[in-house]
Structure 1
């Protein structure tokens, strides 16, 4: 299992990189004010960071209980990314509507756009993170050494 320090590093780096990419993209795509979109991004990132820590801890515990390891296969990575984003989407929808002063349907479109962006981003980021900082319980670093 990952250490608390590692989980915090993972969550913060995920959100910082995600903000740097998503805020300008969202402002441009929807024609929203960059400042207002930036605040929304920071609120969303704060919510996501807390959710990231709790969700990943629970997911890894469940995965280890079910399989005996925290190793994530490709299908498990898809389940991980989709379930993470769905949980966050449900919580973030009313925040988007309120802060941007838009209706729930428009907020849903914005939320879905963020989800689509973050689904791809979460998959790529987590795979890269696991490659650079392997989880000792995953056995992945052993596979890498065995191939050399």
Structure 2
């Protein structure tokens, strides 16, 4: 298990490194000024973090109301992940289109690219982080 300070270090470093990589990469890939892309990336990361909290809170309340239990089965986890990404995309789509002055279709392509990048980045980052800062082993025992 990770301590709270370690989890904070992991989350902050994930966001900062992600912003430092994705801003110049996507400014170049989509031919937009670095400043415009940087602001959009920071706004998107902030919105994703806030939405993550609100979405998970609402999802858990819905599960508790409907089932009396917040534990998720594998199929429910897939539904949860897809709904989170789809709703985040819908929330951010107008912001991307307006901020970069592009069509909704162009903004959709950008958002799908961002989501794909962050999915791969999260895998690589977490693997690297776990290698540099291995989690503490928790002894399994009876309670």
State the distance in 1 between where 2:76 and 2:43 align: 28
Structure-1 residue corresponding to 2:102: 102
State the distance in 2 between where 1:84 and 1:126 align: 20
Structure-2 residue corresponding to 1:49: 49
- TM-score w.r.t. the length of structure 1 is 0.63
State the distance in 1 between where 2:92 and 2:54 align: 16
Instruction: Answer whether contact 1:7 1:53 (CA < 8 A) is retained.
Output: no
Q: Deviations over 1:85-104 (max 9, x none)?
A: 44422221111011111110
Superposition CA RMSD, Å: 4.1
Instruction: Answer whether contact 2:2 2:135 (CA < 8 A) is retained.
Output: no
Structure-2 residue corresponding to 1:132: 134
State the distance in 2 between where 1:84 and 1:2 align: 25
Deviation at 1:22, TM superposition (A): 0.5
Instruction: Answer whether contact 2:24 2:34 (CA < 8 A) is retained.
Output: yes
- TM-score w.r.t. the length of structure 2 is 0.65
Deviation at 1:132, TM superposition (A): 3.3
State the distance in 1 between where 2:122 and 2:80 align: 9
Structure-2 residue corresponding to 1:118: 118
State the distance in 1 between where 2:56 and 2:29 align: 30
Q: What is the 5 A alignment of 1:36-115?
A: 36-54=36-54, 84-115=84-115
State the distance in 2 between where 1:2 and 1:55 align: 24
Secondary structure class of the residue paired with 1:25:
helix
State the distance in 2 between where 1:127 and 1:22 align: 19
Aligned length: 131
Secondary structure class of the residue paired with 1:132:
coil
Q: Structure 2 vs 1, CA of residues 28 and 113 (structure 1 numbering), >3 Å: closer, same or farther? A: same
State the distance in 1 between where 2:76 and 2:124 align: 14
Instruction: Answer whether contact 1:11 1:49 (CA < 8 A) is retained.
Output: no
- Structure 2 regions of 5+ residues with no counterpart? 64-68
Secondary structure class of the residue paired with 2:102:
coil
